[in-house]
Structures are given as structure tokens and as C-alpha cells.
Amino acid sequence: KNQVEQSPQSLIILEGKNCTLQCNYTVSPFSNLRWYKQDTGRGPVSLTIMTFSENTKSNGRYTATLDADTKQSSLHITASQLSDSASYICVVTSSYNTDKLIFGTGTRLQVFP
């Protein structure tokens, strides 16, 4: 069964600190993996996308990594800001059906001053 699991479920950090969110998936065959940021009460917004051949992708203070062998991805946030408080969702697409995305349940990040 194609699944996407994220950890931790929630995370609290102080402003200025770094953090890393994890995503493990069992989706096969793999097409791509996206990280989305979802502010409370809003729709998710895409942060990064990685295909099988990509190991690292950055978007400002966000850096995503992908290990296609172990089927793991991480999202690293550097020098966190209060505005980083949101849910971060890992989404994987299977090349069998690129119209159907497989969503993780997300990591709820809270950044405190």
C-alpha cells in the first residue's frame, strides 16, 4: 500500500533555531516528492519538488533532501522565523498515476519568540 508518514507530528522551537522534519514513504514506483507549507486556515503552498535523480533542493531557508534508496526525505529549516509556524506536508506521486497524490498527515511546527 502506498503510504507517506511524517515525523514528528508536532514540533516547537525557538525563533532563530534550525529544525528538520522527516518524511518516509512506501510509494512505488516513485515519480516525485513535494513539500507543502500550510498556514492555519489556508490552502497548502508548494515549497520544493524533487524527482528521483535529485538529492537536494533549496528554497530560501528551506532545504529538502531526498534519498530514493531508503525512501526518505527531510525538510530542513534554517534560522526559523515566527512566520514559519505552519503545517508542513510531504506529498509523493507515483509514476503509475500522476493525477493522484499521496499526502502525509503533516508536521505542525510552532516557532516561539
Residues at the site binding another protein, with contacts judged by CB under 8 A = 31-32, 34, 41-46, 49, 89, 91, 93, 98-101, 103-106
Question: Parallel, antiparallel, or unpaired for β 72-77 and 56-59?
Answer: unpaired
Other C-beta atoms lying within 10 Å of the C-beta of residue 112: 11
Report, in Å, the least distance between residue 54 CB and another protein.
Answer: 14
**Cβ proximity to another protein, 71 vs 103, nearer residue:** 103
Q: What gap in Å lies between CA 102 and CA 111, rounded to an integer?
A: 27
**Cβ proximity to another protein, 10 vs 18, nearer residue:** 10
**Cβ proximity to another protein, 71 vs 108, nearer residue:** 108
Report, in Å, the least distance between residue 17 CB and another protein.
Answer: 25
